[in-house]
């Protein structure tokens, strides 16, 4: 029987407060642009299926930092149980671009011994007239970290699908090649859901995950 989804990937979305993380997640999971009110504590999670190839679906479980970024109190568990991440800055806010490095360092220090596949996202690209970060310099920074760079707008629905799908494809390729493996006690990647069939792909395989973070 065909799997409803092959794998579940858990993703995080990080970056300075107000760069648009919650709006981007809502646009992707709910298909609309809405003002988001963050809960004061905890994390919110959202999920959606993505078809990366015909008939091949991945379930994304996307975690939002729910306001904690203002206090830099994001927990270690939030990072270490994720396989992928969108690292956002706001193209109209230079400071949020300068903070990309700090976010990456923060993720790196928390995620050991695992690693996270990141995509650098320049958000609010609908506000071209207020742009403070050029595409070229963002691409250069992403290149230096070995990441891809994509510009998105939740307001105008630009590249939102593309950003999540590209990251999902990148992770899927690493799972396929064995660079990322399912591990017991780790939430980053889970094997697929096949109705009425017990299958054994949850086996723990010992192989180092490539350090991409
Ligand atoms: P977060 O703190 O990173 O989760 O940011 P929010 O998602 O709460 O968004 C912060 C502000 O940016 C809100 O006023 C949103 O309406 C606005 N915003 C979010 N995404 C976009 C976008 O793509 N374009 C524009 N112009 N504004 C956006
Ligand atoms: Mg938010």
Q: What is the mean pLDDT of residues 28-49?
A: 78
| Domains of the chain and any CATH numbers | 5-189 (3.40.50.300)
Mean pLDDT of 49-54: 92
Structure tokens at 101: 């490095």
Q: Decide: 35 in ligand 1 pocket, CB within 6 A.
A: yes
The first and second tokens of residue 92, run together, are 């109209």
pLDDT digits (tens, 9 = 90+) for 117-168: 999 999 999 999 999 999 999 999 999 999 999 999 999 999 999 999 999 9
pLDDT at 68: 63
User: For the chain, what percent of residues have pLDDT higher than 90?
Assistant: 63
Q: Whose CA is nearest to atom 26 of ligand 1?
A: 124
How far is residue 24's CA from residue 19's CA, in Å, rounded to a whole number? 9
pLDDT for the residue 69: 62
> Among positive and negative, which fits the CA dihedral 158, 160, 163, 166?
negative
Decide: 17 in ligand 1 pocket, CB within 6 A.
yes
Report which bound ligand comes closest to the CA of 40.
Answer: 2
Ligand 1 atom at minimum distance from 153 CA: 23
Using CA positions, which residue lies closest to atom 6 of ligand 1? Answer: 20
Cα(55) to centroid(ligand 2), Å:
32
The packing angle between helices 21-30 and 160-176, to 10°, is: 80
Global model pTM greater than 0.85: yes
Can you tell me the distance from the alpha carbon of 157 to that of 52, in angstroms, rounded to the nearest whole number?
A: 19
Q: Which residues pair with 189 in a beta bridge?
A: 9
124 lines ligand 1 (CB under 6 A): yes
Q: Residue 45: pLDDT band by 50, 70, 90 thresholds?
A: confident
Look up residue 84 and give its two tokens.
Answer: 């992928």
pLDDT for position 74: 66
Check residue 140 and give its pLDDT: 98
Q: Is the peptide bond before 113 cis (omega within 30 degrees of 0)?
A: yes
Contact present, 31 and 210 (Cβ < 8 Å)? no
What is the biggest distance separating any 2 CA atoms in the chain, rounded to whole angstroms?
Answer: 55
Q: Is the CB of 157 under 6 A from ligand 1?
A: no
Q: What is the mean pLDDT of residues 55-68?
A: 86
Q: Is the CB of 119 under 6 A from ligand 1?
A: no
Torsion of CA 70, 76, 82, 84, to 10 degrees: 50
Distance CA 138, CA 181 (A): 30
Position 23 pLDDT exceeds 60: yes
């Amino acid at each position: 029987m065909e799997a409803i989804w092959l794998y579940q990937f858990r993703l995080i979305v990080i970056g300075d407060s107000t760069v648009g993380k919650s709006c981007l997640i809502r646009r992707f999971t709910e298909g609309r642009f809405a003002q988001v009110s963050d809960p004061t504590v905890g994390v919110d999670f959202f999920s959606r299926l993505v078809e990366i190839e015909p008939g091949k679906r991945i379930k994304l479980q996307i975690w939002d930092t729910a306001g904690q970024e203002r206090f830099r109190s994001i927990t270690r568990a939030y990072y270490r149980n994720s396989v992928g991440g969108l690292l956002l800055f706001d193209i109209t806010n230079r400071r949020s671009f300068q903070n990309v490095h700090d976010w990456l360092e923060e993720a790196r220090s928390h995620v050991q011994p695992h690693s996270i596949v990141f995509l650098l996202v320049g958000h609010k690209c609908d506000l071209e007239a207020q742009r403070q970060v050029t595409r070229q310099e963002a691409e250069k920074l992403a290149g230096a970290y070995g990441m891809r760079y994509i510009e998105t707008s939740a307001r105008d629905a630009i590249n939102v699908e593309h950003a999540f799908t590209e990251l999902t494809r990148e992770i899927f390729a690493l799972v396929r090649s064995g660079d990322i493996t399912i591990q017991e006690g780790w939430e980053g990647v889970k094997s697929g859901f096949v109705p009425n069939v017990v299958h054994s792909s949850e086996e723990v395989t010992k192989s180092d995950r490539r350090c991409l973070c």
